[in-house]
Amino acid sequence: MGFNLEKTEASMNCWVDPLLIIIPVFNHGTTLKGVVEAALSTGFPVLVVDDGSSDGGVAGLAGLNCQVESFAENRGKGAAILAGARIAKEQGFASIITLDADAQHNPLEARDLAVVAAGTDHPVIVIGARRMVQDTVPGLSLFGRDFSNFWVRLECGADLPDTQSGMRLYPVDVLLAQTFSKSRYDFEIEVLVKSVWAGVEICSVPISVHYPPAGERVSHFHKFLDNWRLTLLHTGLVCRRLLPFPHKKITGVREKESPVVVVKKPLRTLQNLCRENSSPFWLALAVWMGLFVGASPLIGVHTVAIIYLAYRFHLNKVAAVAASQFCMPPVVPALCIEVGHYFQTQQWLTDLSWKRWLLEVHYRLWDWFVGFLFVGPILGLFGGGLVYWLARRFQQSNKSAGVA
């Protein structure tokens, strides 16, 4: 079954239009028909990708003007979205909007995503950021969203309000130009991080969200298995971020410019570096990292390591390097050596002789390493916590002064 590819009111940009709504579904028969009917009322064509459902819910779509693609077995949400993107490409669609089949989203707000996308002159991904303010929102969902936002920010530098939302607009060519290793819920995190690495801009627009009471809620998210998959995904993305090799860019997209270094104006460069990623939390994290690495036995290369890590993880470089200076010899290294020696021998190292500290330097380096594993995180927590508190106080005082 084909679709009418005429332009719609909400989608008038050449890279956005024509647009297709894709609804991946797995055993959401009780809500699917209502979601599809609402999606069709937007004026956009609709494709339902049945990911191996066994509840017969797709049969209820008979008579509706939508296309259905069915898998014989469950492959995962990511696989369903990519299959839908390939169908969209074959049928001439330039972009897709994904909607969850559980009625969590209001399909009419798909137009809001299309309007934002149409306002750009280059392909972007648009996320519908859920306003999770109602009483029925599970606490674990709020934590999971914030936790996911933190890791995505660390891995690619994109400060996004809702990295777990299933309502998104994707340029078809952006999706199909990349290679993804995940096919289930973890796909939606992987696609954001890798797209930013590839130079794709990501925008967000607020949307409503509906969470039914706990007894009526249908979710196929496996708390252990899917969280384990996400843990493996974030571990892999962090490790890849640490590698110095450049990421392959997608041609045809325009990467956001964020100049920091101004060669002819060093004072402005310093100002830019100080302001870089300097919210209280991220400033505190930069301080934590600076103190943690500064306490390590990386003799002679602390500053280089800290600048590299701060660059890779998009942390404030000035704050990180400045914090590391508090770990200069002799106090912090000596403390690490003492603590490491005590952990191994249950005795403090009170002998300050030449033999103990220089001729047995290889033992002291090992003591330093062992002690650093304990002292580094604690020192970082203390310094980072202090900076966070001071930054919040400063931020609040500035707001009060502005109001006054």
Per-residue tokens: 149: 């936002």
- The residue-averaged pLDDT of 189-202 equals 95
Give pLDDT, residue 9. 44
Residue 402 has pLDDT above 70, yes or no: no
The yes-or-no verdict on residue 404 having pLDDT over 50 is: no
Q: So what's the pLDDT on residue 2?
A: 39
Which phi-psi region, left, alpha or beta, contains residue 315 (left: φ > 0; alpha: ψ -120 to 50)?
Answer: beta
Q: Is the pLDDT of residue 267 over 70?
A: no
Tell me the mean pLDDT in the region 385-390. 88
Q: Which residues of 288-321 are buried (b: 16+ CB within 10 A; e: fewer)?
A: bbbbbbbbbbeeeebbeebbebbebbbbbbbbbb
Contact call for residues 172 and 93 (beta carbons, < 8 A): yes
Query: Which amino acid makes up residue 25?
Result: V
- Residue 115 confidence (pLDDT) above 90: yes
Measured CA to CA in angstroms, residue 327 lies from 13, 106, 286, 318, 376 at distances of: 54, 53, 15, 15, 10
Strand order in the sheet with 67-70: 67-70, 46-50, 19-25, 95-98, 168-171, 124-130, 201-207
Distance CA 337, CA 369 (A): 8
Answer yes or no: are the C-beta atoms of 103 and 35 closer than 8 Å.
yes
Q: What is the mean pLDDT of the chain?
A: 84
Indicate where the chain has its CATH 3.90.550.10 domain(s).
19-242
Q: Which CATH number fits domain 19-242: 3.40.47.10, 3.90.550.10, 3.90.1150.10, 2.40.110.10?
A: 3.90.550.10
Report whether 79 contacts 87 (CB < 8 A).
no
Residue-wise pLDDT for 317-357, tens only, equals 888 888 998 998 889 999 999 999 999 999 998 887 777 77
Rg value, the chain, Cα: 26
Taking residues 248-275, report their average pLDDT: 56
The encoded tokens of residue 223 equal 């708390």
Residue 38 reports pLDDT greater than 50: yes
**Would the pLDDT of 379 be above 90?**
yes
Question: Does residue 47 have a pLDDT over 60?
Answer: yes
Whole-number pLDDT of residue 225: 76
Question: Taking the model in full, what pTM does it have?
Answer: 0.76
Residue entry with tokens 């919210």? 279
Are 134 and 208 spatial neighbours (Cβ–Cβ below 8 Å)? no
